[in-house]
Amino acid sequence: MKQPIVEATNKNIPNYLKDLDSIANSLMNSINSIHQSGYTSTNPQQTGIKFFDSYETGKLTINENILNDVNYIAVSSDGSVGNSDIAKSLSALADSKVLDGLSIGEKYSGFVSKIANGVSESSQNSDSYNLVLEQLSEQKASYSGVSTDEETVNVLQFQKSYEAAAKLITVANQLFDTLLQMV
């Protein structure tokens, strides 16, 4: 049986991070793919601009040009004013099946459910282990422990036996003295 903490640290958490990285990379690639096909509102208009520069170790980096000037956000598919096809495509991405036949929302929901199930299972296992430990501790105490009630009864028996032996010695001593006085 593996230790739960060791298993969580060496297996579960890295798998969760891998799943989260997969979701983030897919989100980044999907958004960049759509965004690069559109035209910016800059003068002159540009195309092929990535929305995200990178995703590394949990950090999603937005393109520096977009951070400095919102006109670098591509919303038009043909460069005409009023065209918002790219914005609509980006909006539709929420329901698109881009991750193993699932939408990003469905994949993320499954990811959260997977973690919640793992936490629930760990909690149940912990409760079970604590119950078994408590039962084993009680068994150990019953085998090796001393019952105070039983010990009290034994002490009382020994005390009565000692008192009876003391009376017997006293009677024997008096009888011996009486015999010596007669002689």
Residues 112 and 16: their CA atoms lie apart, in Å, by: 9
Least Cα distance to 20 among 62, 59, 63, 51 occurs for 59
Residue showing tokens 């949990």: 58
Q: Which residues pair with 62 in a beta bridge?
A: 52
pLDDT tens digits for the chain (183 residues)?
456 677 777 888 888 888 888 888 888 999 999 999 999 999 999 999 999 999 987 899 999 999 999 999 998 999 888 899 998 998 888 888 878 888 878 888 888 888 888 888 878 888 888 899 888 888 877 776 666 777 788 888 888 888 888 888 888 878 877 777 776
φ/ψ of 77, rounded to 5, equals -85, -20
For residue 35, the tally of other CB atoms under 10 A from its CB is 25
Residue 3 has what pLDDT?
66
Q: Residues 123, 129, 130, 132: is their CA dihedral positive or negative?
A: positive
Residue 1 has what pLDDT?
47
Residues 110 and 103: their CA atoms lie apart, in Å, by: 10
The domain limits of the chain are 4-124, 151-183
pTM of this prediction exceeds 0.85: no
Assigned token pair, 181: 């006085």
* Residues 89/12, Cβ–Cβ less than 8 Å: no
Least Cα distance to 17 among 7, 5, 9 occurs for 9
Peptide bond into 44 cis (omega under 30): yes
